[in-house]
């Protein structure tokens, strides 16, 4: 599991300069001073440093293994993404090595630190909530390992990314509630600080603003992604003096939790209280009334991320990466219809 | 992806004898005649054959990669099993390489034929429906690669296996329906010939027999595992002159399909028609009325299979494998209660 060769991280440590400086020195870019460049090259030669370019098989002898790092797999969204990745990988003769972080930044870091990059041609990554591994991803990219982010991306890192359009999806979901006559719309959000939590929150706020509805801070609840959190968040909303008459949940699991809380309180979903989610988990058709949602292109995201990664691997000189944002799709069911038939 | 070394399969082909004979000759067992043994050893030496024992890192330099071959991952049961496998693998410093067959015997075969066993320490396998890869699994075991089967096992192959108790789970499910007053109980089964389909069918038949209820062949429908199949099977049952008043479904997805069909026909689930599934998919708590089921120990099955595989890898001389059968657990909800409250 441990790395068996000298990395630019080692060189950076010994010379007490940044990894990015070492990387730039080795790539001979114009913005590193001559003295530093010489120091780096001398040490690299001394330590017999070989860029991962070779180690990862980019130049010769590919391993035909792609690593996938992601928070969960017991989850409709992620297991569908993996299925998309798997399809493209299989058709191109690659295998998939799976690393599950359990959405824990500590485990993500441990995985990154122990990653045997020499056995991988590239990496597909969806970061964990509160990830603090961004430096590790940057280092691995600097070492020459192709990395593509999907869904939960590290904004500050410059590489290919594949996401759904969280902002517009959220905007459309909330506007749909408004157009169906709901006016006091709450949002049960994901954890603060995550990029897609923020994008969906912004879509929510902008839709309310467009329709001249007031933003009520009490109606925005941040918590985790599970059904239980959705239930708790909703009980919290229902205890407010000023209660909402609808809610937009950051995902379907939380929306389903919300519906369970509403049912437990004897509130009729749809008729009395509108609910809309985000994902299009098969559960949304099973629950009664059926849940309106924004369908995420999970399979497509898996396919495209893997295709991009293979481009990075096979055409490292000609392909400089791209950001792809796929639209979601509003799916109207009974939970967001005032006159829903039960 | 292709194998880069001589296998016992090659030796068997050249000498026109069976793989198992070659394997036994190389292991120097008593039941191979001297002439054959000498031929095998001579050819093995000539071709520079090395048992995978070394190639897989059993003797030295482990790859710390475990392969997992399974039908699906977008499925609560299998994604939970993988999560269990992943936990044990992570804690023991192994990575998981995932091979998804899409439940297709052709893809399973292609995966097996292209498997780079030299990059794996061992293999966890759940075979596809109608798998015809048994010979391939046997060959790979003969070559010295540890293999553990889970859930969908190849009965004829002698290695470790981890399963749930399909027979007793099914028996308990059907007896529960009988004890709740249902007497005309149908079974919507999986595909014919799969071992767990057969075990659950046998549990169904034996429970009816124990309670002196007639076995009606029209009430046993074989098809696939999806919700859609469950729906179709149920419409088929409802077209019979002699209609059942309850059904046991081979899994929760089919049970949910059945409930949708019953609702579409205006039949009250529970009150008028009992339904019980098998899995304990989270969907079973979401659907209304909630679905009674046999909870499968999916996470546990993943954990135990991986632990067994690691034993095979680390103690090849002292560990000769075992078969573990884990009990399921009856979970009674509203769908199987005649006086269910809706």
Sequence spans of domains, chain B:
1-50, 166-296+329-336
- A268, A246 contact by CB (below 8 A): no
The three-state secondary structure class of B87 is: helix
Spatial distance between the Cα atoms of B169 and B230, rounded to a whole number of angstroms: 19
- What is the block-wise mean pLDDT of chain B (342 residues), using blocks of 10 residues? 59 82 70 81 76 42 86 92 96 93 92 85 92 86 92 90 96 98 97 88 98 96 95 98 97 97 97 97 94 97 97 84 94 88 44
pLDDT tens per residue, range A54-90: 344 443 347 889 999 999 998 899 999 999 999 999 9
| Nearest CB to B74; choose among A83, A90, A100 | A83
Least CA distance to A285: which residue of chain B?
B287
pLDDT tens per residue, range A218-263: 999 999 999 999 999 999 999 999 999 999 999 999 999 999 999 9
- A57, A45 contact by CB (below 8 A): no
Q: CATH classification of A61-164+300-326 is 3.40.50.2300, yes or no?
A: yes
Spatial distance between the Cα atoms of B330 and B96, rounded to a whole number of angstroms: 32
Q: Which helix (H) or strand (E) holds B324?
A: strand B323-326
With CB atoms and an 8 Å threshold, state whether B99 touches A95. yes
Interface mutation vs chain A, best among B73, B230, B252, most A CBs within 10 Å: B73
Q: Tokens standing for A83?
A: 């299925």
Q: What per-residue string of b and e applies to A147-165 under the rule 16 or more CB within 10 Å gives b?
A: bbbbbbbbeebebbbbbbb
Within chain A, which residues score under 70 in pLDDT?
1-5, 27-31, 50-61, 339-342
With CB atoms and an 8 Å threshold, state whether A73 touches B83. yes
- A168 Cβ partners below 8 Å, 6+ apart? A203, A327, A328
Distance from the Cα of B60 to chain A's closest Cα (Å) equals 14
- A41, A97 contact by CB (below 8 A): no
Topology adopted by domain A1-50: 434 Repressor (Amino-terminal Domain) (1.10.260)
Which pLDDT score is estimated for B55? 40
Which pLDDT score is estimated for A194? 82
Which pLDDT score is estimated for A171? 98
Which pLDDT score is estimated for B195? 82
With CB atoms and an 8 Å threshold, state whether A98 touches B90. no
Q: What per-residue string of b and e applies to B123-143 under the rule 16 or more CB within 10 Å gives b?
A: bbbbbbbebebeebbbbbbbb
Count Cβ–Cβ pairs < 8 Å, chain A vs chain B: 85
Which pLDDT score is estimated for A51? 56
Question: Where does chain B have alpha helices with state H?
Answer: 8-15, 19-27, 34-46, 52-55, 76-91, 105-114, 134-142, 166-179, 195-210, 227-238, 252-264, 283-286, 298-314
Distance from the Cα of B74 to chain A's closest Cα (Å) equals 5
Q: How many CB atoms lie within 10 A of CB A199?
A: 19
- A217 Cβ partners below 8 Å, 6+ apart? none
With CB atoms and an 8 Å threshold, state whether A86 touches B98. yes
Spatial distance between the Cα atoms of B145 and B196, rounded to a whole number of angstroms: 25
With 0-12 CB in 10 A as exposed, 13-18 as middle and 19+ as buried, what is A279? buried
| Nearest CB to A79; choose among B64, B74, B114 | B74
Least CA distance to A84: which residue of chain B?
B74
Spatial distance between the Cα atoms of B201 and B278, rounded to a whole number of angstroms: 12
Give me the phi and psi of B142, to 5 degrees please.
-60, -30
| Nearest CB to A97; choose among B90, B97, B114 | B97
With 0-12 CB in 10 A as exposed, 13-18 as middle and 19+ as buried, what is A111? buried
Give me the phi and psi of B69, to 5 degrees please.
-110, 120
A256 touches chain B (CB under 8 A): yes
Task: Measure Cα distances from A71 to A201, A281, A305 in Å.
Answer: 21, 17, 16
* CATH topology match: A1-50 vs A166-296+329-336: no
Q: Tokens standing for B329?
A: 């657990």
Contacting B residues, span 50-109, partner chain A, CB-CB under 8 Å: 63-65, 72-76, 79-80, 82-83, 86, 90, 93, 95-100, 107
Which runs of E-coded beta strand occur in chain A?
A: 65-70, 95-100, 122-125, 147-150, 160-164, 185-189, 220-222, 246-249, 274-276, 293-295, 323-326, 329-331
A282 touches chain B (CB under 8 A): yes
With 0-12 CB in 10 A as exposed, 13-18 as middle and 19+ as buried, what is A118? middle
Direct distance between the N- and C-terminal alpha carbons of chain B, in angstroms, rounded to an integer: 56
Which pLDDT score is estimated for A54? 35
Chosen CATH of B166-296+329-336 out of 3.40.50.10860, 3.40.50.2300, 3.40.50.300, 3.30.70.3270: 3.40.50.2300
The three-state secondary structure class of A191 is: coil
Distance from the Cα of B257 to chain A's closest Cα (Å) equals 10
Q: Tokens standing for B153?
A: 């096992």
Direct distance between the N- and C-terminal alpha carbons of chain A, in angstroms, rounded to an integer: 56
**Of A19, A11, A148, the residue nearest A84 (C-alpha):** A148
């Amino acid at each position: 599991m441990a790395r068996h060769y000298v990395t630019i991280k080692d060189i950076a440590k010994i010379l007490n300069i940044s990894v990015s400086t070492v990387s730039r020195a080795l790539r001979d870019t114009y913005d590193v001073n001559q003295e530093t460049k010489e120091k780096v090259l001398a040490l690299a030669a001394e330590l017999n440093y070989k860029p991962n370019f070779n180690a990862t098989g980019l130049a010769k002898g590919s391993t035909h293994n792609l690593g996938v790092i992601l928070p969960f797999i017991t989850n409709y969204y992620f297991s569908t993404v993996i299925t998309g990745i798997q399809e493209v990988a299989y058709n191109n003769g690659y295998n998939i090595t799976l690393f599950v972080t359990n959405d824990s930044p500590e485990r993500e870091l441990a995985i990154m630190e122990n990653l045997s990059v020499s056995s991988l041609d590239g990496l597909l990554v969806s970061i964990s909530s509160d990830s603090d591994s961004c430096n590790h991803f940057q280092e691995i990219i600097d070492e020459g390992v192709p990395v593509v982010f999907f869904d939960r991306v590290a904004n500050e890192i410059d590489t290919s990314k594949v996401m759904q359009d969280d902002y517009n999806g959220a905007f459309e979901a909330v506007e749909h509630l408004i157009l169906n006559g709901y006016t006091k719309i709450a949002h049960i959000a994901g954890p603060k600080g995550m990029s897609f939590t923020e994008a969906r929150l912004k879509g929510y706020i902008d839709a309310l603003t467009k329709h001249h509805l007031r933003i009520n801070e009490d109606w925005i609840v941040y918590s985790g992604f599970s059904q239980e959190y959705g239930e708790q968040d909703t009980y919290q909303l229902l205890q407010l003096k000023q209660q909402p008459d609808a809610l937009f949940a950051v995902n379907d699991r939380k929306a389903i939790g919300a519906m369970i809380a509403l049912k437990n309180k004897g509130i009729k979903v749809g008729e009395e209280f509108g609910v809309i989610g985000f994902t299009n988990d098969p559960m949304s058709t099973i629950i009664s009334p059926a849940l309106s949602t924004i369908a995420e292109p999970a399979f497509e995201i898996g396919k495209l991320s893997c295709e991009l990664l293979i481009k990075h691997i096979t055409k490292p000189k000609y392909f400089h990466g791209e950001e792809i944002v796929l639209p979601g799709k509003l799916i109207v069911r009974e939970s967001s219809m005032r006159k829903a038939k039960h």
